Amino acid sequence: MSTNALNSIEKKASLSLAMVFGMRMIGLFMILPVFAIYGVQLQGYSPVWLGLAIGAYGFTQALLQIPMGILSDKFGRKPVIISGLLVFFLGSLVAAWSDSVYGVVFGRALQGMGAIASATLALAADLSREEQRPKVMATIGMFIGLSFAVAMVLGPLIADDYGLAGIFYVTAVFAVLGVLLVFFVVPNAVTSAPKGDLVAAPTALIDMLKDSQLLRLNAGVLILHMALTAMFVVLPVMLTEVGFAAAKHWQLYLPALLVSFVLMVPVMILAIKHNKEKLAFCGAIALMIVTQFTLWQNQQQLWLLVLLVVLFFIAFNYLEATMPANLSRIAPAGQKGSAMGIFSSCQFLGAFLGGALGGMITAMWGREHVFLLAAGLSMLWLILALGMKPVAKSKSLSFHVNLSDESHAKQMADSLAKLPGVIESSIVYSDAVAYVKVDDKAVDMQQLKALLQ
């Protein structure tokens, strides 16, 4: 069997898990473009509760993202994923049955408690070979990106015909479909991938929090998602006020996202080709600042709002796509799971803070100041990003190894350190795993594998 192509199990695992992940994200995102408009019909509505309803899922996701991954190591991937989807289903029904904004906030918080991201990615790793794992993860990542675009289209269409309750009922159906996929389509894992690069290790979390380069990325993803959710607290109403009917908002979001994807790819390619990744990264943050400041100053012209939304999504999607890649290159060998766990928690915490602060600022000072807050925080992020060190191009690999004792593990670690092309390595004797970060253009993979055997 060729090692250059996905086998049948890997294809089934990547597509089915990507669908589970994608449907769940569609359910979480669908209210973003519509809640500011249709939420006014709920009892107890106010800008503050609006923001909390949009961002509530992020708070519980941030709290449970790492623990759910650790639980999947103890109790198994599938039980944790199915349990999370059932909690997500329950939260969707609570929100659908609620006549008050308080019930919707509670339902959204329950949705977030179904935090299955770590367990899903770990199961995908368990079901794939080391050399094929990047393709499997890329498939899941692509579906996550597509889910946002689909949600921006479905949200306005469903809400126009069936209201907010319709959105939550569709979300509940997606949760049930996800459970069925996990039960009947997702293969059962018979092996376990090395967990250090997949699931957070509690003992490594403190070290990850102290790392200045990782801290910059964590702060960045928090600010990025704060800006996104805060914008959707006020943007839908602004569009309706300049004559853009709510049911047609998808006609703005879909082209904006498509244009942003099309323009983002060549920028990424050129930045990598000419070794200007840091410049492009900081340029995307600067573009966010410009769009937020302009929205703060001018909200009355439809053509300008459309242009600014397109520019915002160009910056957002570029940053969203490049930060996980940068994180995987910065994270120490064997600790990517811990680094990614903190990164994901910061991402969801940013979604919560963006909604909560967006609602509070709208209530106290007016909606235009939401954009001023986002611009100010983005400026802080730009300052942090300018201090980032250039990231060496590398690939993280993990191997099961046969070790006779701890002295053998130390001998293997010393030999790895001397091997050309090896940037960093870590031997975990208790798990019989070697984590190696390499420059794939300089390392001799046959020599590396021979040494580990």
Domains 1-193 and 200-391 share a fold: yes
Query: Tell me, what's the pLDDT at 152?
Result: 92
Average pLDDT over residues 383-405: 79
Quick check: 285 pLDDT over 70?
yes
Please, are residues 242 and 300 in contact by the beta-carbon 8 Å criterion?
yes
Poorest-pLDDT segment among 12-16, 53-57, 152-156, 438-442: 438-442
In the chain, domain spans: 1-193, 200-391, 395-452
Query: Tell me, what's the pLDDT at 357?
Result: 96
Which is more confident, 401 or 178?
Answer: 178
Q: Which listed CATH number (1.10.540.10, 1.20.1250.20, 3.40.50.150, 3.90.1150.10) goes with 200-391?
A: 1.20.1250.20
Average pLDDT over residues 57-65: 93
Query: Tell me, what's the pLDDT at 2?
Result: 47
Q: In the 8-state DSSP scheme, what is residue 274? A: T
Task: Give residue-wise pLDDT tens across range 141-178.
Answer: 788 888 988 999 999 999 999 999 999 999 999 999 99
Which is more confident, 321 or 394?
Answer: 321
Average pLDDT over residues 112-136: 83
Phi, psi of 117 (to 5 degrees): -60, -50
- 3-state DSSP call for residue 301? coil
Q: Tokens 């986002």: give the residue.
A: 374
Query: Tell me, what's the pLDDT at 359?
Result: 95
Average pLDDT over residues 212-222: 92
Element (H, E) at 433: strand 433-438
Query: Tell me, what's the pLDDT at 266?
Result: 87
Quick check: 439 pLDDT over 60?
yes
* Strands 395-400 and 422-428, bridge-based pairing: unpaired
Query: Tell me, what's the pLDDT at 339?
Result: 82
Query: Tell me, what's the pLDDT at 109?
Result: 96
Q: What are the strands, taking DSSP E only, across 309-355? A: none
The neighbouring-strand residues paired with 436 are 397, 425
Average pLDDT over residues 219-228: 95
Give CA torsion, residues 105, 107, 113, 117, to 10 deg.
-100
Nearest to 12 by CA among 239, 264, 276, 188: 188
**pLDDT band at residue 99 under the 50/70/90 scheme:** very high
Residue 74 burial by CB count (10 A; 0-12/13-18/19+): exposed, middle or buried? exposed
Query: Tell me, what's the pLDDT at 1?
Result: 42
Quick check: 406 pLDDT over 90?
no
- 3-state DSSP call for residue 389? coil
Query: Tell me, what's the pLDDT at 224?
Result: 95
Which is more confident, 139 or 290?
Answer: 290
Q: Tokens 């899941």: give the residue.
A: 140
CATH 1.20.58.1290 fits 1-193, yes or no: no
Average pLDDT over residues 24-47: 93
Please, are residues 398 and 334 in contact by the beta-carbon 8 Å criterion?
yes
Query: Tell me, what's the pLDDT at 195?
Result: 65
Poorest-pLDDT segment among 162-176, 192-206, 300-314, 387-401: 192-206
Which is more confident, 96 or 303?
Answer: 96
Q: In the 8-state DSSP scheme, what is residue 431? A: G
Mean pLDDT over the full length of the chain: 87
The counts of H helices and E strands in the chain are: 16, 3
Quick check: 318 pLDDT over 80?
yes
Quick check: 86 pLDDT over 90?
yes
Q: Whole-model pTM above 0.85?
A: yes
List, in order, residues 6 or more apart from 340 with CB less than 8 Å away.
Answer: 200, 324, 327, 328, 331
Element (H, E) at 15: helix 8-29
Percent of the chain that is helix, strand, coil (3-state, to 5) = 75, 5, 20
List the CATH code of the domain at 395-452: 3.30.70.100
Q: In the 8-state DSSP scheme, what is residue 43? A: B
**pLDDT band at residue 59 under the 50/70/90 scheme:** very high
Average pLDDT over residues 30-47: 93
Average pLDDT over residues 299-318: 89
What burial letters (b/e) apply to 347-356, b meaning 16+ CB within 10 Å?
Answer: bbbbbbbbbb
Residue 346 burial by CB count (10 A; 0-12/13-18/19+): exposed, middle or buried? buried
Quick check: 3 pLDDT over 60?
no
